[in-house]
Amino acid sequence: MRVEPFLICLWVLAAVCALTWVLSLITGEHSWVDRIWSVVPLVYVWIFAGAAGLQDARLNLMAALVTLWGIRLTFNFARKGGYAPGGEDYRWEVLRGRMSRGAFAAFNLFFIVIYQNVLLLLITLPAWTAFEHRTPLGALDVVCAVLFLAFLVGETVADQQQWNFHQWKKAEKAAGREPSPRFLQTGLFRLSRHPNFFFEQAQWWVVFLFGCVAAGSLLQWTVIGPLLLTGLFIGSTVFTESISKSRYPEYAEYQARTSPIVPWFPGRGNAARMWSESR
């Protein structure tokens, strides 16, 4: 079994872990992994595609799709100010207030830096499977590509709806008016409280399927990547929603009628006023 590209990825992983940890210590900000989240997976997948001499159609396709994912996510993160000084994820500030200094320092090193960076490598390792099983591109690969692009479009739409809402909310506050509703409940957010979370995870499950198609079996150990990513999003959702409920008491009503992640028909309940009607 050839492991050269995997070893290169391990060196990249070590370098990125060291860099993000040192930067968090120097700046006092803890979103450096967030800032490289949309970049490092591209590097890993292209390492495997490059190791195949850019001659394997499946690996090239996987690398191209992951690159589209990275471009979209980088753009969305940048326009929200994620790369600007002080653009730290608000949840880390909340956690710092709940933990001792020493406990948060350990949390930063082992979870924010090491765990999340390892996860970024794990979700790309179906490319290693494809590298080890360089079979011809087939109809199932086309189906996977279409699914990936559909989920990419879904996440783009969800993020744009969220961006439009928050721009409107800022304008309302700037005009001295209280926004109503105070959080997004329309569009895709009528079917899921976190549709962007759903589409993000779904894309990486499709990446896993590419590896399965290459190997000719669903029984691949690389399933650990999307499984851990799904677990991370479940934990993030629970924590994020606890903050939302503390800020907006009416959020409980929204929870009662709307699917948490997987888009589904809304349940019964007192419908909140629609954003479009409040403008």
Query: Over the stretch 225-239, which tens digit does the pLDDT of each residue have?
Result: 999 999 999 999 999
Question: Whose structure tokens read 């060196």?
Answer: 11
Band (pLDDT 50/70/90 cuts) for residue 181 is: very high
Which carries the bigger pLDDT value, residue 162 or residue 272? 162
**pLDDT digit string (tens) for 131-153?**
999 999 999 999 999 999 999 99
Average of per-residue pLDDT values in the chain? 92
pLDDT mean over 243-258: 93
pLDDT attached to residue 16: 98
Contacts 24+ apart (CB under 8 A), 27-33: 27/85, 29/85, 29/86, 29/87, 29/88, 30/88, 30/89, 30/92, 30/108, 30/112, 31/82, 31/87, 31/88, 31/89, 31/92, 32/113, 33/112, 33/113, 33/116, 33/117, 33/120
Judged against a pLDDT cut of 80, whether residue 258 lies above it is answered with yes
In the chain, % of residues over pLDDT 90: 87
Res. 5 pLDDT band, cuts 50 70 90: very high
Residues 254-263, mean pLDDT to the nearest whole number: 95
Give the whole-angstrom CA distance, residue 258 versus residue 268.
Answer: 9
Query: Domains of the chain: which residue ranges?
Result: 4-278
pLDDT for the residue 267: 83
Q: What percent of the chain has pLDDT over 70?
A: 95
Q: What is the pLDDT of residue 117?
A: 98
Range 48-68 average pLDDT: 97
275 band by pLDDT with thresholds 50, 70 and 90: very low
pLDDT at 279: 37
Q: What is the pLDDT of residue 273?
A: 38
The pTM of this model reads 0.91
Average pLDDT over residues 204-218: 98
- pLDDT tens string 62-92: 999 999 999 999 999 999 999 988 878 788 8
